[in-house]
Amino acid sequence: MPADSVKKTLIVAFGVCIVCSILVSTAAVSLKGIQDENKRLDRIKNILLAGDLLNGDADLRTIYEEKIQPMMIDLSNGKQVPKEEFNEVLNIEDFDITMVAGHPQYGMTIPSEKDTAKINKMPKYTVVYIHKEDNVIKQIILPVYGKGLWSTMYGFVALDTDLKTVRGFTFYDHAETPGLGGEVDNPRWKAIWKGKQIFDEKGDLRIEVIKGTVDTSGSEAQYQIDGLSGATLTARGVNDLVRFWLGDDGYGPFFKRFKEEIYG
Ligand SMILES: Cc1cc2nc3c(=O)[nH]c(=O)nc-3n(C[C@H](O)[C@H](O)[C@H](O)COP(=O)(O)O)c2cc1C
């Protein structure tokens, strides 16, 4: 067969395609473990970031294992799900909140009038992270997520054991515009959340991201967070998702149960 024949060209091209696809799929399969571990480490890092538990060079996994106790909860009643009920979807190690939200058995559709975080579906179960030192609960770190302007934003809110005071807030995944909505990652903006109150003394949900800058001398300042200049739509998304998850349709039943068990 001549070297420049159509048949030979096609055979060589086909051969190159086959070899390349084998190489790509082998790389994808062999790197999957490393990717999964990196994802897990990133989640751990952000849980620790939200709880202000990252210090210097200490190994992430060591801090996490020493200080954090993950707990699977049933969001409908706040009860802990026992280990015996874990399976390949419901488990702490590889818990994927959006996958569980979309699962026919473990997820549910949110009625549109309640779907203020604009996520359509939510998990019936989730993992919360209890920070303990010497067996004393110091804070609780809760996963939250909801729509920004361009993307679904995923983060963690750390709460004091009074379940009112924010100890920290961080997003670990979003695709908002850098410099605009992306300012949700700005350490100065995240620092504003520390110490803010979620509920008032009557137990009403009060936390709010406002448009503009908070009047720090005002009586509402304890509940208010500065908006993001030029990114009001992302800021509104953050407001809505935080209020959804910390409200009755999110962690409300868990808060109730936690208070009964700890203080009851
Ligand atoms: C290319 C481009 C990207 C934008 N990205 C964001 C964004 O990530 N988040 C956001 O809230 N607004 C973004 N905006 C601006 C919004 O369209 C809107 O003007 C803004 O949220 C209003 O906020 P302001 O009232 O503080 O100006 C973007 C605008 C453009 C043109």
Counting the structural domains of the chain, the total is: 1
Q: Whose CA is nearest to atom 1 of ligand 1?
A: 177
Q: Within 13 Å, how many C-alpha atoms sit on residue 221's CB side? A: 8
Considering the domain boundaries, does residue 126 fall inside one?
yes
- Per DSSP, the residues of 127-195 read EEEEEEETTEEEEEEEEEEEE-SSSEEEEEEEEETTSSBEEEEEEEE--PPTTTGGGGG-HHHHHHHTT
Considering the domain boundaries, does residue 149 fall inside one?
yes
Q: Which atom of ligand 1 is least distant from the CA of 228? A: 26
Ligand 1 site, CB within 6 A = 149-150, 176-177, 180-181, 229-234
Q: How confident is the model at residue 2 (pLDDT cuts 50, 70, 90)?
A: confident
Considering the domain boundaries, does residue 131 fall inside one?
yes
Our mutation pick for probing the ligand 1 site, out of 176, 186, 213, 233, counting the most ligand atoms within 8 A of Cβ, is 233
Considering the domain boundaries, does residue 24 fall inside one?
no
pLDDT digits (tens, 9 = 90+) for 82-119: 999 999 999 998 899 999 999 999 999 999 999 999 99
Q: Residue 232 C-alpha to ligand 1 middle, in angstroms?
A: 7
Note the pTM of the prediction, 2 decimals. 0.88
Tokens (6 digits) for 151: 């993307």
* Whether the Cβ atoms of residue 53 and residue 67 lie closer than 8 Å to each other: yes
- Residue 144's domain comprises 48-263
Residue 264 has pLDDT above 70, yes or no: no
pLDDT value for 123:
98
Considering the domain boundaries, does residue 117 fall inside one?
yes
How many C-beta neighbours within 10 Å does residue 112 have? 8
Considering the domain boundaries, does residue 18 fall inside one?
no
* Whether the Cβ atoms of residue 125 and residue 85 lie closer than 8 Å to each other: no
Q: Residue 174 C-alpha to ligand 1 middle, in angstroms?
A: 15
Give the torsion through C-alpha atoms of 91, 96, 97, 101, to 10 deg. -90
pLDDT value for 93:
86
Considering the domain boundaries, does residue 2 fall inside one?
no
Considering the domain boundaries, does residue 1 fall inside one?
no
pLDDT digits (tens, 9 = 90+) for 188-242: 999 999 999 999 999 999 999 999 999 999 999 999 999 999 999 999 999 999 9
